[in-house]
Amino acid sequence: MRNINNSKLRIIPLGGLEQIGMNITAFEFEDSIVVVDCGLSFPEDDMLGIDLVIPDVSYLKENIQKVKGFVITHGHEDHIGALPYVLKDINVPIYATKLTIGLIEHKLKEHNMLNHVKRKVIQHGQSINLGAFRIEFIKTNHSIVDASALAIYSPAGIVVHTGDFKVDYTPVFGDAIDLQRFGEIGKKGVLALMCDSTNAERPGFTMSEKTVGKVFDDIMSDHKNSRIIIATFASNVDRVQQIINSAYKYGRKVVIEGRSMVNVISTASELGYLNIPDKTLIDIEQMKNYPDDQVVLITTGSQGESMAALSRIAANIHKKVQIKPGDTVVFSSKAIPGNEKAVSRVINELSMKGADVIFQDAHVSGHACQEEIKLIYSLVRPKYAIPVHGEYRHLKAQADVARSLGIPKENIFILSSGDVLELNADNAKVVDHVHTGGILVDGLGVGDVGNIVLRDRQHLAEDGIMIVVMTLEKYSNQLLAGPDIVSRGFVYVRESEDLMEEARAVVNDAVNNCLEKGVTDWGKLKNVIKDALSDFIWKKTKRNPMILPIIMEV
Amino acid sequence: MRNINNSKLRIIPLGGLEQIGMNITAFEFEDSIVVVDCGLSFPEDDMLGIDLVIPDVSYLKENIQKVKGFVITHGHEDHIGALPYVLKDINVPIYATKLTIGLIEHKLKEHNMLNHVKRKVIQHGQSINLGAFRIEFIKTNHSIVDASALAIYSPAGIVVHTGDFKVDYTPVFGDAIDLQRFGEIGKKGVLALMCDSTNAERPGFTMSEKTVGKVFDDIMSDHKNSRIIIATFASNVDRVQQIINSAYKYGRKVVIEGRSMVNVISTASELGYLNIPDKTLIDIEQMKNYPDDQVVLITTGSQGESMAALSRIAANIHKKVQIKPGDTVVFSSKAIPGNEKAVSRVINELSMKGADVIFQDAHVSGHACQEEIKLIYSLVRPKYAIPVHGEYRHLKAQADVARSLGIPKENIFILSSGDVLELNADNAKVVDHVHTGGILVDGLGVGDVGNIVLRDRQHLAEDGIMIVVMTLEKYSNQLLAGPDIVSRGFVYVRESEDLMEEARAVVNDAVNNCLEKGVTDWGKLKNVIKDALSDFIWKKTKRNPMILPIIMEV
């Protein structure tokens, strides 16, 4: 008889390490694979023109017969956003809590996939069997309701995966994180803990979401006479609930604006995650029928995203809302790294129009700080620690926390995407590395923009392009037309006529020189043109536009 | 006899409001203009390929006979960086303190202008007469030594301009800010105060630069066995002094790395602003001769700038320094808004190579917080308040501080660049607006990249370019060659052959259709090609590359 104790669990992160976003991890035991989360990430600054990035799931495709399902911890884009793309290749059932499934269904609808994908709502405390695995959903708190940690039971041992979480003893909706269950499972003996690292650099405790509610009360009481506009994350249902509560208390109607917020709020509302007093919510069209001091507008755009409602309001290009002196605008958010300047631009624009802008104190994080991470480690007491969710610096910070709790260095694994960690009670080791990576999505194209295209876009962005065209006679190689130079993104031609004229002369000389020498290799001729023109342009301007010679034969 | 009391002082900011950077303000009284500062700004995210931005000084050019000189408050790029460009048109003498002049001279040398520009070193407490004005230099503290506030005496009254400043009671080098003199001038009666707004949103007091010295001592004491690398701002001479002090105390040699830092430190050292114990400074080539625990490397790159020394070290492409596990890397800086992600990338790279990265507590700001601003207002007691240096939100925050101190709303002016504020003891009013703006510098080109070129670069960056070329026979309009399509930055052609083939067919049909109809207007033909191809590409890919038809006639 086979001794299953010799078999090992394999944990294979296919994304989500080395960066914020694109969370997806495969758990493999013999013939079974379950996949936890399937998120997207947003493009880095040098990914010009790219809309989003999804994980390369080649490993899952190669092992498709093993894959039993997707288990999703919560409904944020970095955990569900790649599903519509990945499901095209890996169409297996999805398991998640009610709101999470609701948000996934909205996504599937947009991609016309709703009827082709199986999905099942799981309640906290409930378990599902998937091949060799049993997966238990455990209640946690996060900046979106219905978030779950997972206890992943395998023949090689139990892995606890926190998902994104914080410890909120006084949540706005539903129960606090089920610390008892973490303790109970810990008592059984846990092989490995995979814990959220996002805030692992921060000492202390993350404040309860409820503290933000008090801030809203204060703001409404301090700004009784002004219209109040509050920008926050579209998916933060609890935050919206608290704004609605304060608005109701101070006799204000509430307007929701911004496509993604309307989506999430209507899904959350239909599923019973929001408690909106009758006649509190009004349509944006009705806003004009109420005096300023009886309205609160909740909107997207807290990150300064140029197309979001608040940015359009600030720039005076929103069709239905104009800023007036005396308006109070609250950022119930903090700037995600990379968005600071965009947020600041919106704050400046609002201030210039006379709005009173409040951008501090009306936000708390959704992620656990160091003391909460210590709490979870102390309840779970894992043999191995595998920090997840974060850039390397965050994973490292959690590793330091784990070490401070007495977990030996050799039992802490800072993995890279693609690492295959094989483990059981005796041993844990990275034994292999599978192919992973980000696939760029640009418009409808998935993966058709790669490094060469991106490098070209960067080159074009930096200094523009100069196109050299000419027509040659086949056989005789006589120059029939051109060489002409057309440029875009290089200089404003009307103001640089001399430069362009000289450039044309340089190219002309180079071409004639080549043709006189009897060069018939157009590749060679193109290189001569490139070299001559780029030398000339660099000398004159210290710039390096892309140079593209095109030769037509007649 | 003319009654000079009827004449008014005109204050005309030519840049520096609405943004951080590009500080330059004209003070005009009858036939005299003095210009305070002449800085550059760094390009915004959408200014693709631009190196720097300088102010449009058309107003000074138009009034060149009035301009008496540039008075410079301190040696930061946003106060001196545009001088070499502006001096080409407005060659008047420059007045500043010793280190500031030293840094300006370095700049002029780089532009081969040193012999063509008059400059004069002024000491704190000293005054100069420039036309109708007398300008007094007052000692302040800032993140670069030798910073000055200016008392600008005009027949219409005194204006106090703080420059960038903080109040440091225990500066590293030289004296504390001359608060007595601010008080003394205040007692005479000050017409207007133009005060630094950078930190006006922050309550409290900025800590003394000296507190950072204690942090360096702690770091060196806590990391006795590791090599220490400290990144900071190239121009922060006091910071470098304190690192040198700590290094000396702990028996370490100091290496300076990074071109801009070597420049500033050698200038500051020559002029006596740095006190370096004998044999403390060693060349980077000598570093290998010392054990790790006897070396401190001070470097540029604290903002994650991709070409700076620390970034190259982190990316393993620095020729002389490689990170080893156990190295301690200190960021003695904070990320300037917009640089957060780049800084984070460098931190991650360093951590992955095993370095211990310290990025908190080893920095203080160089700008005054609210309590310091209140102190200056209370010493100067101006009639009018004109917040300067900062984005609108910062100016607004200072205006709020001024109001809290009892300055009436109508006496507080948040100006825009170009506003002409006319003022005397009786009255102050914006009476006019002159032309201002930013001139883009790209390589050697000054002003040859404008909005059209930038828009093209953005378009190219987003979706690339498709070039359609063809050769037609003159008169007969017969298609002799093409249409061919060449693309860059659009898709990777080898993987999108079908799409490109279909695109060619679409263009071919459009061209043939036009030619059959007898169209001879190439502009019209080009538009038909553009429309047909962009419709097709949008439908297939939801992308919008630039489409550039080129027609050659033979």
Q: Which domains does chain B have, with CATH numbers?
A: 9-204+366-446 (3.60.15.10), 210-358 (3.40.50.10710), 464-553 (3.10.20.580)
Residue A5 pLDDT class (50, 70, 90 cuts): low
Q: Please, which residues have CB within 8 angstroms of residue A224's CB and are 6 or more apart in sequence?
A: A250, A293
B234 is in an annotated binding site: yes
Are residues B393 and A347, on separate chains, in Cβ contact within 8 Å?
Answer: yes
Per-residue confidence (pLDDT) for residue A477, from 0 to 100: 79
Q: From CA B107, how far away is CA B114, in angstroms rounded?
A: 8
Nearest CA in chain B to A396: B351
Q: How many CB pairs under 8 A join A and B?
A: 193
Q: Predicted ipTM?
A: 0.87
B489 touching chain A per CB within 8 A: yes
One DSSP character per residue, A332-354 reads ES-PPTT-HHHHHHHHHHHHHTT
Q: Is B534 on the interface with A (CB under 8 A)?
A: no
B430 is in an annotated binding site: no
- Higher-pLDDT residue of A44 and B19 is A44
Residue A482's pLDDT is: 81
Lowest mean pLDDT among A188-197, A376-385, A506-515: A506-515
Q: What average pLDDT does range B115-127 have in this prediction?
A: 97
pLDDT at B46: 87
Choosing among B42, B303, B348, which should be mutated to test the A contact, i.e. which has the most A CBs within 10 A?
B348
Give how far A170 is from chain B: nearest CA, Å: 31
- Please indicate whether, in this complex, the C-beta atoms of A489 and B457 are within 8 angstroms of each other: yes
Least confident of A405-419, A432-446, B377-391: A432-446
Mean pLDDT of A322-328: 95
Tokens of residue A318, six digits: 């929103």
B6 pLDDT more than 80:
no
pLDDT mean over A481-507: 88
Q: What pLDDT score was predicted for residue B519?
A: 82
Residues of A in contact with B546 (CB under 8 A): 488
Q: Does A259 touch chain B (CB under 8 A)?
A: no
Instruction: Of B66, B36, B72, B18, give the one whose Cα is nearest residue B418.
Output: B18
- How many residues make up chain B in this entry? 554
Across A235-303, the runs of DSSP E, i.e. the strands, are 253-257, 295-299
Task: Confirm or reject contact between B189 and chain A (CB < 8 A).
Answer: no
Residues of A known to be catalytic: 196, 367
Instruction: Kindly list the residues from chain B whose CB atom is less than 8 angstroms away from the CB atom of residue A393.
Output: 344, 347-348, 351, 357
Per residue in B446-502, pLDDT tens? 988 888 899 999 999 999 999 999 999 888 878 888 899 999 999 877 778 889 999
User: For the range B523-530, what are the long-range contacts, defined as Cβ-Cβ under 8 Å and sequence gap of 24 or more?
Assistant: B525/B549, B525/B551, B526/B551, B529/B468, B529/B483
Shortest Cα–Cα distance, A153 to chain B (Å): 31
Q: Is A496 on the interface with B (CB under 8 A)?
A: yes
Q: What is the per-residue pLDDT for B416?
A: 95
Provide the pLDDT for residue B3. Answer: 45
Residues 81-100 of A with CB under 8 A from B: none
For residue A289, count CB atoms less than 10 angstroms from its CB and return exposed for 0-12, middle for 13-18, buried for 19 or more. Answer: exposed
A477 class by beta-carbon count within 10 Å (0-12 exposed, 13-18 middle, 19+ buried): middle
Nearest to B491 by CA among A440, A446, A449: A449
Please answer yes or no on whether A448 and B492 come within 8 Å at the CB atom: yes
Closest CA to A336 of A374, A401, A400, A391: A391
What pLDDT is stored for residue B19 in this prediction? 78
Strand order of the β-sheet with A438-442 is: A52-55, A438-442, A445-446
B406-410 — which CB contacts under 8 Å span 24+ positions?
A: B407/B377, B407/B382
CA–CA separation, A191 and A152 (whole Å) = 10
What is the arithmetic mean of pLDDT over A117-134?
97
The per-residue pLDDT for A26 is: 98
Give the C-alpha distances (Å, rounded to integers) separating B450 from B38, B39, B454, B455, B491: 21, 20, 6, 9, 28
B367 annotated among ligand-binding-site residues = yes
Q: Report residue A229 as tokens.
A: 């506009």
Report pLDDT for B488: 94
**Does the pLDDT value for residue B349 go beyond 50?**
yes
- For this structure, is B400 an active site residue? no
pLDDT at A493 over 80: no
CA of A134, closest CA in chain B: separation in Å? 35
Considering only CB atoms, A543 lies closest to which of B357, B443, B554, namely: B443
Judge whether residue B2 has pLDDT over 50.
Answer: no
Whether residues B344 and A550 touch (CB distance < 8 A) is answered with: no
In this structure, of A5-19, A79-93, A105-119, the range with the lowest mean pLDDT score is A5-19
Chain A CB contacts of B393 under 8 Å are: 344, 347-348, 351, 357
B534 is annotated as contributing to ligand binding: no
pLDDT on residue A147: 97
A460, B458: Cβ pair inside 8 Å?
no
> In percent, how much of chain B has pLDDT > 70?
99
In chain B, residues with a C-beta closer than 8 Å to the C-beta of A47 are none
Question: Do A465 and B469 lie within an 8 Å CB cutoff?
Answer: no
> Do A482 and B352 lie within an 8 Å CB cutoff?
no
Of A462, A465, A491, the CB nearest to B48: A462
Over residues A311-339, the mean pLDDT reads 94
Among B18, B353, B357, B393, most A C-beta atoms within 10 A, so best to mutate, is B393
How far apart are the C-alpha atoms of B140 and B372, rounded to whole Å? 12
Residues of chain B with Cβ-Cβ distance to A328 below 8 Å are none
Average pLDDT, chain B: 94
**A433 touching B (Cβ < 8 Å):** no
B443 touches chain A (CB under 8 A): yes
Gap from A171 CA to chain B (nearest CA, Å): 31
Mean of the per-residue pLDDT values for chain A? 94
Instruction: Answer yes or no: do A464 and B452 touch at CB < 8 A.
Output: no
Of A48, A49, A469, the CB nearest to B469: A469
Neighbours of A383 (CB within 10 A): 18
Q: Residue A22 pLDDT > 80, yes or no?
A: yes
**Is B435 labeled as ligand-binding?**
no
Residue of B nearest to A443 (CA): B542
Percentage of chain A modeled with pLDDT above 90: 88
Cβ-Cβ contacts under 8 Å, B44 against chain A: 341
| Cβ neighbours for B403, distance < 8 A, ≥ 6 positions apart | B409, B412
Stretch A254-283: mean pLDDT = 94
pLDDT digits (tens, 9 = 90+) for B266-277: 999 999 999 999
Distances (CA, A) of A170 to A140, A145, A166, A333, A536: 12, 13, 11, 20, 69
Position A3 scores a pLDDT of 45
Query: Each residue of B175-213: pLDDT tens digit?
Result: 999 999 999 999 999 999 999 999 999 999 999 999 999
Cα separation, B104 vs B74, in Å, equals: 10
- Which of the residues B238, B367, B394, B419 is marked catalytic? B367
